[in-house]
Structure 1
Amino acid sequence: MFPIRDDNPQILTPYATYAIIGLNVAAWIFVQGLGSDGMLAQSICTLGLIPGELLNIVPAGTRLPLGPGVACVLGESSTWYTAISSMFLHGGWFHIIGNMWFLWIFGNNVEDSMGSVRFVVFYLLCGLAAAALQIATNPASTVPMVGASGAIGGVMGAYVLLYPRVHVHMLVIFGFFATTIAVPAFLMLGYWLVVQLISGFGSLGGQGGGVAFWAHVGGFVAGAVLVLVFRNPRLLARHPYHGWRRRRLPTESWRRIGR
């Protein structure tokens, strides 16, 4: 299942969401060379978050193979900044397109609830919390972490707390048959969280690369908690569909539209 859109009106212009998407796209083009082998490997080596290197667990000089004839030498310098830089890097086209689409669907309404400046701080804190939980599950890992998924998980955690009953339209594919369904946000995002938890427990003890499921869980939980601090009640009161109270959707009644 893949979200197409939601029935949540946009109140404010989401400048922060635009800016974050723009920074991710710019990094993909100018830092990662649109996924070209050399620039992609170099960006992941120098700007990706490697838990064992960040925590100084891996001996300096350890070589990490990144592809045919390409290796990253770990532990040569401080890498504290990778906790931030890794949030704006991606591992492939589907990775960045999927992340930016999810951010576009859910980010604007979360930004509506707190304003642009607060949203930027909120987003970065969710990304750091996501990285912290992923590191805690395997602190000696030498697998580079890249992607905005953890921070976007925080956006999704905030969304389900703010707008649990707003309908999200999903694309569902069964083999050669495709259809769309609309479900409340708490069902769609709750299902997503359960999948991450099951996959996360299944990945414990693994040494290879793959999806950072615990980063998704950490971001989601952090977002659900932090939104209680970052939300602005005055801005949220302007939003017609916040909270659990049932509200009439625009499609459920005829309205006269002034010309």
Structure 2
Amino acid sequence: MFPIRDHNPSGRTPFVTYALIAINIAVFLSTLDLNQSPRALMSFYANYALVPAFLSEGYGYSGLVTSMFLHGGWMHIAGNMLFLYIFGDNLEDKMGHAGFTLFYLAAGLGAGLIHWLADPFSAIPTVGASGAIAGVMGGYLLLFPKARVDILIILIIIFRVLPVPAWLMLALWFAMQLLGGWSEPADQGGVAYWAHVGGFVVGLALTVPVWLRLGGPRFWTRTHGLPPHPETRYDTSRSRVPRIQSRKSHSQVPRIRRK
């Protein structure tokens, strides 16, 4: 189950959201050659990824920022950019281009710091934009809790697109991050769940001033939690989703955390 689009059009062109997507893709493509050499890749991660143990020793702080623009694989960057594309434009619409830029970076920094606090002596490099994107999702939840989001549900051979309110999709996602954070051993690579949790909470908190400026509880009363404009309508009754055959990769890559 994952979102493919929302029904919440933005009132202005989301230049910052598009720029962030473009930068992330450009950086990812420019580092693909490093996968041919695990030694070169680990050296690169040591300089630009977020390594909690480095922060605990008093250096590597730049990784809090640079790690937000690195990704560990095609599915990693595709998923992150899809989430940013779906939820980023509406926050940028409400915050403005400069405000959204600062918000995104602050949410990413907060997510990185929470990840460090959760496992301060981990030497596993952490890369990915999803801590910042989790902040975008937290802000979206506060401003548009009842905006409809189309999610793709895959049950073996059954593909179905189902519209659900944003609060339900985001609450389920947040619960899954909490469950993953509590259940995954701290000394293993995989998903940086606590970065997701931290980014979500930080993003929600940073959106409170915007919500208050819009009227706070009166904004919810006025809009009933829905976008304050006509929603985009899609025909989900005839959705066709192509089947994609998976391919196993035999390349050897270093263990990292993805966020």
Q: TM-score, normalised by structure 2?
A: 0.80
Dislocated runs of 4+, deviation >3 Å:
31-42, 230-234, 240-252
Q: Any idea what SS the aligned residue of 1:171 has?
A: strand
Q: Distance in 2 between matches of 1:241 and 1:37?
A: 53
Matches within 5 A, 1:1-259: 1-33=1-33, 35-37=35-37, 40-56=41-57, 78-203=59-184, 205-230=185-210, 233=213, 243=225, 249=231
Offset of residue 33 of structure 1: 3.6
- Number of residues of Structure 1 aligned to a counterpart in Structure 2: 229
Q: Which amino acid aligns with 1:222?
A: V
Offset of residue 206 of structure 1: 2.9
Q: Deviations over 1:121-141 (max 9, x none)?
A: 000110111111111111000
Q: Distance in 2 between matches of 1:112 and 1:214?
A: 28
Q: Distance in 2 between matches of 1:156 and 1:52?
A: 28
Q: Any idea what SS the aligned residue of 1:173 has?
A: strand
Q: Is the 8 A contact 1:50 1:141 kept in 2?
A: yes
- What is the root-mean-square deviation in Å for CA atoms of aligned residues? 2.7
**% identical aligned pairs:** 43
Q: Is the 8 A contact 2:9 2:232 kept in 1?
A: no
Q: Match of 2:244?
A: none
Q: Distance in 1 between matches of 2:150 and 2:33?
A: 33
Q: Is the 8 A contact 2:8 2:227 kept in 1?
A: no
Offset of residue 31 of structure 1: 3.6
| Closer/same/farther in 2, CA of residues 98 and 242 from structure 1, 3 Å limit | farther
Q: Match of 2:243?
A: none
Q: Any idea what SS the aligned residue of 1:113 has?
A: helix
Q: Distance in 1 between matches of 2:145 and 2:159?
A: 26
Q: Any idea what SS the aligned residue of 1:164 has?
A: coil
Q: Which structure has the larger Rg over C-alpha atoms? A: 1
Q: Distance in 1 between matches of 2:74 and 2:119?
A: 27
Q: Any idea what SS the aligned residue of 1:169 has?
A: strand
| Closer/same/farther in 2, CA of residues 219 and 19 from structure 1, 3 Å limit | same
| Closer/same/farther in 2, CA of residues 56 and 113 from structure 1, 3 Å limit | same
Q: Is the 8 A contact 2:3 2:149 kept in 1?
A: yes
Offset of residue 146 of structure 1: 0.4
Q: Which amino acid aligns with 2:134?
A: G
Offset of residue 80 of structure 1: 1.6
| Closer/same/farther in 2, CA of residues 174 and 47 from structure 1, 3 Å limit | same
